[in-house]
Structure 1
């Protein structure tokens, strides 16, 4: 007996109007639709809302990596235990592949997709040695670049008598972004986060190793579902307790993904991340004497004046400049790669024409 999958069943897994329109336009049979809960090298755990099962990619997906290779959060079309293709994504959480930031700032080699079709990203920072406003800015730029909505979570609030001072500081660099103080000791902050885990919502967590992501997932779930480890007291670094990306169906009805800790935040492309993260610098720049002001030595620079007056922190401006260079370099590499692909395509066309002309002679 064939089991028919209803839109309501898929909606509980995050299927929404965006994918409903795609299904209508492309004539997608919902009975073949499933969502990727976790992705290993050549094996995926998927669900259609009624059951979960392991499957493998089709030969076309395996041998043609220019196609979208399934990642956690993808919607895919199935043929029994084989993934036939990835349904076009609403968005992709991606970064420059780990180890791709060389001596030259922003040297991006390859794009590394982390997850797909995410509604909210929890940027998790521990209020211990993990706390770093400059790193939070980088995470914000990454999330905005990917077209996703950030929420900043400051964990381990119980380590301080006045944790609100940290929230006040983060508010000065994350304009309009919700900031939640949490503690696994007393469960504080949990009520503020429940709303992001409602039925049909998909949330991913980003942060360094030891930031408290797995402990936060356990607190939100209500019991231990993720392994945790203590942070070294000597160097303040945590170990990777989460080694894979897996969507967890939460009691609230939504899905939560705990990412392995990220030590290196490299950008694989440019986007709106800088403008959204550094909107204060963008606003100041509108008052600069020169429209193409680089905010370095130019006379009449409103940004430098704000630094001199104490309105803008020098460290924030330097971080802005650094990320700007990285994104410009990443975009230049992407444009160069696109040109190379186009040249190789036309080279192939020219060779095929020569081959056909040669056959005509004989």
Structure 2
């Protein structure tokens, strides 16, 4: 998209340009249900420090956010991929999100209490999440498990892309390793000399109106992959260090990019912490092998740690399930349980604060009488 700083005009919600951006019956129903919509619907294509790039499918321009959205905490703050209403280059409303890729806010440094109270929206209204992992020092099965669990928790479809295949003599072995812990997840191998994996990845988006988001560690090759998907250099990539065979991280902003053959993709900065926010079914879906074994345990409340007749421990003993995978399973179960409890307590605290404010108002009224 050409990032032009032009003013918006009246937009017809039924135009094909919006449909190509992912506008569907869900967003149309939300728009139609508004009593007095202020502005026309457009999609957020970029977030900057003090402004937002929006597009109507024909052009892109900079906008600011209204004071109401900025100061009222209960309002949803715009994120890349959001559908918003814009009037006079001001975002007045954020439409309800159909699906959201989010995580617990980073920076807690192990203090769960700090991280669990905040949600960081990585991208809004996405369908597919491309997990990018380089076949160098970035490759880590446990991290891939966490990424997949995060994506499933958000109700989205994960796809794994293993980049830098040229750095390995037999890169196919890594594909087999990932497929052994990512049941039902598409895994694609990507090298600089072979476009086979790239073509298979494109098939997930070509000719569609779906939106994908890329996540992965810094230097995993996300920007290089994006350039190859688009067919030209639109994201600057850093030089590759011969010492660690790793690209320097250069992406610092999130942007929604239109692909030439249909579909959109959100490029994201590297993720250092994979903290969970939603306590969904991610663990059950990511660890289907362990959950299936657990159903055959002697005790229905088996913790899979020391109980007799535990099918999971039997599988670990025979090598069917690795001990590292079981440890990862237990760890993520605890984290999601904590996240659910933390959010529940936070909701109760908010309700108490609400009634405390009401009590203070009532008290002040009585004093004036």
Scaled to the shorter chain, the TM-score interval is over 0.9
Q: Deviations over 1:307-340 (max 9, x none)?
A: 0011101000111111111111111111111000
Kept in 2: contact 1:151–1:178 (CA 8 A): yes
- Tell me: CA distance 1:238–1:331, structure 2 relative to 1, closer, same or farther (3 Å): farther
Q: Deviations over 1:201-246 (max 9, x none)?
A: 1111011111111111111111111111234444565532111000
Structure 2 runs not aligned, ≥5 long:
1-7
* TM-score, normalised relative to structure 1: 0.93
For the pair 1:324 / 2:333, whether they are aligned, the reply is yes
* TM-score, normalised relative to structure 2: 0.92
2:173 alignment partner in structure 1? 165
Kept in 1: contact 2:53–2:61 (CA 8 A): yes
1:92 alignment partner in structure 2? 100
> Once superposed, what is the RMSD of the aligned Cα atoms?
2.1
2:230 alignment partner in structure 1? 221
Kept in 2: contact 1:187–1:219 (CA 8 A): no
For residues 120 and 138 of structure 1, the distance between their equivalents in structure 2, rounded to whole angstroms, comes to 16
For the pair 1:209 / 2:218, whether they are aligned, the reply is yes
After TM superposition, give the deviation of residue 2 of structure 1 in Å: 5.8
- Tell me: CA distance 1:189–1:105, structure 2 relative to 1, closer, same or farther (3 Å): farther
SS at match of 1:287: coil
1:193 alignment partner in structure 2? 201
1:83 alignment partner in structure 2? 91
For residues 298 and 309 of structure 1, the distance between their equivalents in structure 2, rounded to whole angstroms, comes to 16
Moved more, 151-160 or 17-26: 17-26
- Tell me: CA distance 1:316–1:231, structure 2 relative to 1, closer, same or farther (3 Å): farther
Kept in 2: contact 1:95–1:112 (CA 8 A): yes
After TM superposition, give the deviation of residue 190 of structure 1 in Å: 1.7
For residues 223 and 209 of structure 2, the distance between their equivalents in structure 1, rounded to whole angstroms, comes to 22
2:121 alignment partner in structure 1? 113
For the pair 1:42 / 2:53, whether they are aligned, the reply is no
After TM superposition, give the deviation of residue 254 of structure 1 in Å: 1.5
2:59 to 51, 58, 72: 51
For the pair 1:5 / 2:2, whether they are aligned, the reply is no
After TM superposition, give the deviation of residue 104 of structure 1 in Å: 6.2
Q: Deviations over 1:50-92 (max 9, x none)?
A: 2211010000111123311001000001112100010000111
Structure 1 runs not aligned, ≥5 long:
none
Write the mapping of 1:164-183 to structure 2, written as runs, cut at 5 A: 164-183=172-191
For residues 105 and 295 of structure 1, the distance between their equivalents in structure 2, rounded to whole angstroms, comes to 27
1:284 to 273, 290, 293: 293
